[in-house]
Amino acid sequence: MAITGRAVLLAALGLIYVAVVPRASSVLVWLAVVAVLVIVDVLLAGSPAGLHLTRSPGAQVVLGESTSTSLLVRNDGRRQVRALLRDAWQPSAGAGAARHTASLPPGESVRLTTGLTPVRRGDRLADRTTVRSYGPLRLAARQRSVAVPGTVRALPAFPSRRHLPSRLRALREIDGRAAVRVRGQGTEFDSLRDYVDGDDVRSLDWRATARRQHLVVRTWQPERDRRVVILLDTSRTSAGRVGDTTRLDHSMDAALLLAALASRAGDRVQFLAGDRMINSRVIGVHDRAQLLHRLVTAMTPLEPALVEADWSRLAGAVDGLSRQRALVVLLTSLEPAAIEEGLLPVLPALTARHRVVVASVTDPVLREMASQRRTAFETYDAAAAERTLTLRERAATALGQLGVTVLDESPDDLPTALVDHYLMLKRQSLL
């Protein structure tokens, strides 16, 4: 049972009665009147147990966007229910107006909608739904909380999608859709065409020339059907926050942009995510539209694990995909201790078979701290920032000596730096 503000106000009005009839019994009489009215009001209130609640199926929404969930409330009782319902969710679900009022005669139903704007990726769950049924005087109410399971899935945000059209134009220029196809080392044969002034004579096809009785040259296109393996580190280093988002989410953004571009280029994209074991994988998907859907679905439930990455197992999983040479992109943090103790020992075997890129998110605040030395406190902060930057540069140098390309960029720049490096490899036929 719950007491409303009306009951408190009614009890306070008894002060007037006591002032008019200043006796000790006056207080008891007035409190008895209030108690009787409250009890009668509770008895006349509809039972919240007679309400049947059904939730709509779970929705999916991109992180940062809004969706809604609805409750269908049906009164199976014999009395009218004047109810206040609170549809509670996890705080990270971003529930808006979660309190609803409804007046339901017996046998009727109403649909109540709650807006949701998730602020964290993953499955956001509904908490208990509380129903408070008021009596006709609204002095008191019956209250009951029931579990009505519900889920809204917040998919990874893909803010770097806006860079995709410009990179696709660059890709079309590389693969010959918008530029003349030329001969180059490591390229694949495309077709034959008649010779025109300015063509490289080394591209002449003498057999075709003999058949057609005029000069014919071969045209070439960049190699297609290359393999791109994206390995996402979900160990403790991915839990660090850069801005308002974890390193893991920033890495997901870069992985999605690279996968979208590589699939458009005709390359085969394979995705692995793990720490001490492989937690998620997407392999064998050839449909470009299905690839992004599968990647987003695989990334959604991933969360950082507070353990060290087992790079031996992760590198073995990459080799287990295929022995064919591939571009292997390791999305991890350039933390010196984790790199030197875990990643460096397994890299020689990995770089011997694949082209390896380490992509890391750096915190722009570090360079800001390193440049501010106006006070003693800022000077100490600057010294700590300089030391961190020096250690990261030392780790990047050690990786570079093993033939690894290191991209250490801010969250906004990492996706574009990664795809620009991929386009450079395509342009120079190094994949």
In the three-class reduction of DSSP (H, G, I as helix; E, B as strand; rest coil), residue 307 is classed as coil
What pLDDT is stored for residue 229 in this prediction? 95
Is residue 282 packed enough to be buried (19+ CB in 10 Å), middle (13-18) or exposed (0-12)?
Answer: buried
What pLDDT is stored for residue 418 in this prediction? 96
What pLDDT is stored for residue 224 in this prediction? 57
Residue 134's Cβ-side half-sphere holds a number of Cα atoms within 13 Å equal to 16
Q: Estimate to the nearest angstrom the gap between the alpha carbon of 430 and the chain centroid.
A: 32
Q: Dihedral angle at the C-alpha atoms of 170, 175, 176, 179, nearest 10 degrees?
A: 30
What pLDDT is stored for residue 182 in this prediction? 47
Q: Tens of pLDDT along the chain (431 residues)?
A: 788 888 888 888 888 878 887 877 888 888 888 889 889 888 888 888 889 999 988 888 999 899 999 999 999 988 889 989 999 999 999 998 889 998 989 989 999 999 999 999 999 999 999 999 998 888 888 999 999 999 999 999 899 999 999 999 998 887 654 344 444 444 555 678 888 877 777 778 888 888 888 888 887 655 556 899 999 999 999 999 998 889 999 999 999 999 999 999 889 999 999 999 999 999 988 888 899 999 999 999 999 999 999 999 999 999 888 778 899 999 999 988 889 888 999 999 999 999 999 999 998 888 888 888 888 888 988 899 899 899 999 999 999 999 999 999 999 999 999 999 999 998 887 77
What pLDDT is stored for residue 184 in this prediction? 45
* Angle between the N-to-C axes of helices 364-371 and 376-401, in degrees from 0 to 180, rounded to the nearest 10: 130
